[in-house]
């Protein structure tokens, strides 16, 4: 059993406290302060939803394929040039995430279309999506990035 030393207030005495006691005290706190805990969980959930929407709604690979085939969207690949050349979605435009702020003008001609952001695994698309939305673009994110695209065995172009 793991013991943690706890100092008693005022006396300077040290007493051992087991992890089990701490867990019990934690659940007692939650049961006594259930309103505050509920409000905290709701606020965390709303914050997560808000951040997800700010960076562009996620789209499945099938929805992305439909939008590209209907010429409703431009696919923006934000991976490095080396990764892009190793394999990318046909018709994708490569602007590495590190250069996105400098090259936003290149996307101005596509402002009427949706911009679908693709990265390696879908983790970096959020920051790029927020930046594009702040500049007036309509943004979506490819769920799972290129890893999901390739795991679905959809075609890639090498250049």
Top CATH class of 54-151 equals alpha beta
Tell me how long the chain is.
Answer: 159
Region 70-91 average pLDDT: 93
Using a cut of 0.85, tell me whether the model's pTM lies above it: no
Q: What pLDDT, on the 0 to 100 scale, is given for residue 41? A: 96
Quick one: pLDDT band at residue 125, thresholds 50, 70, 90?
confident
Region 97-115 average pLDDT: 90
Q: What pLDDT, on the 0 to 100 scale, is given for residue 7? A: 52
Instruction: Answer yes or no: is pLDDT of 1 > 50.
Output: no
Structure tokens at 5: 């030393």
Instruction: Answer yes or no: is pLDDT of 155 > 80.
Output: yes
CB atoms closer than 10 angstroms to residue 133? 16
27-79 pLDDT, tens per residue? 999 999 999 999 999 999 999 888 777 778 889 999 999 999 999 999 999 99
Is the CB of residue 76 less than 8 Å from the CB of residue 118? yes
Q: Kindly report the average pLDDT of the chain as a whole number.
A: 87
Is the CB of residue 77 less than 8 Å from the CB of residue 88? yes
Region 76-101 average pLDDT: 93
Instruction: Answer yes or no: is pLDDT of 110 > 60.
Output: yes
Domain ranges for the chain: 3-52, 54-151
Name the β-bridge partners of 93.
76
Structure tokens at 7: 């100092």
């Amino acid at each position: 059993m793991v013991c943690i030393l706890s100092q008693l207030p005022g006396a300077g005495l040290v007493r051992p406290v087991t992890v089990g006691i701490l867990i019990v005290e934690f659940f007692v706190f939650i049961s006594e302060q259930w309103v505050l805990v509920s409000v905290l969980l709701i606020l965390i959930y709303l914050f997560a939803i808000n951040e997800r929407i700010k960076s562009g709604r996620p789209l499945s690979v099938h929805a992305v394929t439909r939008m590209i085939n209907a010429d409703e969207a431009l696919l923006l690949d934000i991976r490095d040039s080396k990764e892009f050349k190793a394999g990318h979605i046909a018709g994708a435009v490569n602007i590495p995430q590190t250069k996105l702020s400098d090259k936003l003008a290149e996307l101005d001609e596509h402002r009427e279309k949706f911009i679908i952001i693709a990265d390696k695994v879908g983790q970096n698309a959020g920051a790029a999506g927020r930046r594009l939305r702040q500049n007036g673009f309509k943004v979506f994110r490819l769920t799972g990035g290129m890893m999901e695209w390739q795991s679905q065995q959809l075609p890639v172009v090498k250049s």
